[in-house]
Amino acid sequence: MRADEAVPLGRTGLRVTRLGLGLASLGGLFAPVSDRDAALTVDRAWDVGVRLFDTAPVYGYGRSERRAGAALAGRPAGQYTLCTKVGRLIVPGGTDTQPFWADPPPGVGPRRDYSYAGVMRSVEDSLERLGLDRIDVLHVHDPDEDFPAAVSDAYRALAELRARGAVGAVSIGVNHAPVAARYLREVAAPGPDCVMLAGRYNLLDRSGLDELLPLCAARGGVAVMVAGVYQSGLLADPRPGMPHGYSTVPEALAGRVAAWHALCRDHGVPPTAAAVQFPFGHAAVTSVVVGARTPDEVEDTARMLAHPVPPAFWAAARAAGLLPPGVPVPAS
């Protein structure tokens, strides 16, 4: 599989590359990133064929969107797919802050707002930061933060924007698969066109398969973009002190991480290659979105996506009990 392979985004008229670049890191997730390095990272993604980019207002409190807009400026809008999100406004003195953004812009912060008016304002603000007049994919970000408003007012705003062509596709961006499944069941028809699922369909956590992925397939082609395939970095580098988001890795999880790394060593498969390719075993998954803060990280991910992973590897994972029998795996 190649990073530049383009496929339809479900039932929408959009096309997306198999590999997407998540831009949270370029907003300063865990560590600061310079404007220059942010631009070089997007440039390298473009060079390896990535044409799917995902950002959000809350990523660095507007910084990620501004950097995305600057890095993509001058490139024809029809040649890439840009996603951003609603649910938080970036305002002076906003108090819904998050501790993991390094060196955020002074004096501003997020404020949760899933109201119709709040969503419309969020879109206007995002367009200004991005320097664009249209958003390709608009996610309702973390709808569980205010589910009643997110499934009614926020969706009504997004559906109107989609109907008049200001938004190409309506989506939700979630960290919990049951939340996404509930949203799809309860929202007014025709509902979202796609779902971004973070951290819940990978080698270590397959809870997305319990209900959400089958539901998306049954709903007439609701496309799924999968993020968090490295489980906060545990599948890339599980050593203590590495930026994998865990202060202490639970013993059971650590055991499964070690088992995957051992299996990969036995078969000569890099763990990141297995991790970035695994979600494509399910037909509803169109893309995997991986964050990066340097050009080398982008290039490495593209290389891992193309790295051969033989059928014997997936068979060995089943035999070792790391993958249950019903979990689909990528075709060779």
Which residues lie below 8 Å from residue 98, measured CB to CB, with a gap of 6+?
58, 110
Q: From CA 122, how far away is CA 57, in angstroms rounded?
A: 8
Q: What is the mean pLDDT of residues 104-126?
A: 97
Instruction: Please say if the pLDDT value at position 232 is more than 80.
Output: no
Say if residue 165 is exposed, middle or buried (CB neighbours under 10 Å; 0-12, 13-18, 19+): exposed
Q: From CA 171, how far away is CA 182, in angstroms rounded?
A: 14
Catalytic residues: 54, 59, 85
> H or E segment at 119?
helix 116-130
Residue-level pLDDT at 247:
62
SS (H, E, C) 6-53: EEECCCCCCEEECEEEECCHHHCECCCCCHHHHHHHHHHHHHCCCCEE
Convert the pLDDT of each residue in 160-202 to its tens digit: 999 999 999 999 999 999 999 999 999 999 999 999 999 999 9
- Residue 240 pLDDT grade (very low, low, confident, very high; cuts 50, 70, 90): low
| Token duo for residue 21 | 């670049």
CB atoms within 10 A of CB 166: 15
Which residues lie below 8 Å from residue 200, measured CB to CB, with a gap of 6+?
174, 175, 176, 177, 206, 207, 208, 212, 228
> H or E segment at 218?
helix 212-218
Percent of the chain with pLDDT over 90: 89
Convert the pLDDT of each residue in 201-216 to its tens digit: 999 999 999 999 999 9
62-71, 96-105, 147-156, 227-236: range with lowest mean pLDDT: 227-236
Which residues lie below 8 Å from residue 78, measured CB to CB, with a gap of 6+?
none
Q: DSSP string covering 229-298, please?
A: TTTTTTTT--STTSSSS-SS--HHHHHHHHHHHHHHHHHT--HHHHHHHGGGGSTTEEEEEEE-SSHHHH
Pair type for strands 108-112 and 135-141:
unpaired
Instruction: Please say if the pLDDT value at position 101 is more than 80.
Output: yes
Residue-level pLDDT at 199:
94
Instruction: Please say if the pLDDT value at position 332 is more than 80.
Output: no
- The mean predicted confidence, pLDDT, of the chain is 94
Rounded to 5°, the CA angle 280-44-20 comes to: 25
Note if the pTM is more than 0.75. Answer: yes
> H or E segment at 114?
none
Q: From CA 179, how far away is CA 327, in angstroms rounded?
A: 21
> How far does CA 244 lie from the centroid of its chain?
16
Q: From CA 317, how far away is CA 324, in angstroms rounded?
A: 9
Residue-level pLDDT at 136:
98
Q: Please give the span between the terminal C-alpha atoms of the chain, in angstroms, as a whole number.
A: 10
Instruction: Please say if the pLDDT value at position 76 is more than 80.
Output: yes
Convert the pLDDT of each residue in 47-60 to its tens digit: 999 999 999 999 99
Q: What is the mean pLDDT of residues 260-271?
A: 96
Q: From CA 308, how far away is CA 315, in angstroms rounded?
A: 15
Residue 78 vs residue 88, higher pLDDT: 88
